[in-house]
Structure 1
Amino acid sequence: MRRVSLLALLAFMTVACSSRHSVPAASAYTPPADRTAARGLEFAQAHCSGCHAVVPLSISVDPEAPPFESIVNAQGLTLDTLRTFLRDSHNFPDIMKFDVDPDQIDALAVYMLTLRETE
């Protein structure tokens, strides 16, 4: 009886831990092929990753800095609203004083939108 219970538990755990929709590990992330998005990723890794998670399935270094995935999956976000957000997002508090170069805003926004969840 004990052996049957152990086998049943093992089978349950195997099924519970498997998923039809497996998620790739962050290390398996493939950078975007689009040149503008690739420039945005490069900028994000150089200037944003000190606080934010800039690639999928990663955790922000600063727990108060939302991962890029969370930002771009906000309801109602568009390329235009994201550009505005990036232009004005770090104007408070002083500890976050950081300006995104206007030449980089478009590339960063295009990259970030590649992180949107598909339905």
Structure 2
Amino acid sequence: MADQDDEIALPDLANAEPLSAESHTFGMDDPERVRTAQELEAVFEVPVNVSAVLGKTHMEVSSLLKLGRGTIVELDRKVGEAIDIYVNDRLVARGEVVVVDDRLGVTMTEIVKGEVG
């Protein structure tokens, strides 16, 4: 897991050089090439489902129906353990719960690379 002081270097897409007309493959032949904001503009408005999973548990329907206000449901995580952050049901990061004003939020502490489930 990454330390809180670790920073993830992201390319400055807004100041990158625009795509030239002859590079119609969008650099697919060069996986190391940085994409520009103009190249990614088509996906900026695509909605995605983001979920922050605090933990999981399994229970029978009969137990589920007995739950009421104030019932404590034990999850498979310990206090202070990282939570999973999913985008469109795919694990992409781990993070910590934070409080911003009077709302809960999530800060990412680790980017998950590759297929993890």
Q: Would the TM-score normalized by the shorter structure come out above 0.5?
A: no
Give 1 or 2: higher helix fraction: 1
TM-score (norm 1): 0.19
Higher-RCO chain (CA-CA 8 Å, sequence separation at least 6)? 1
Give 1 or 2: higher strand fraction: 2
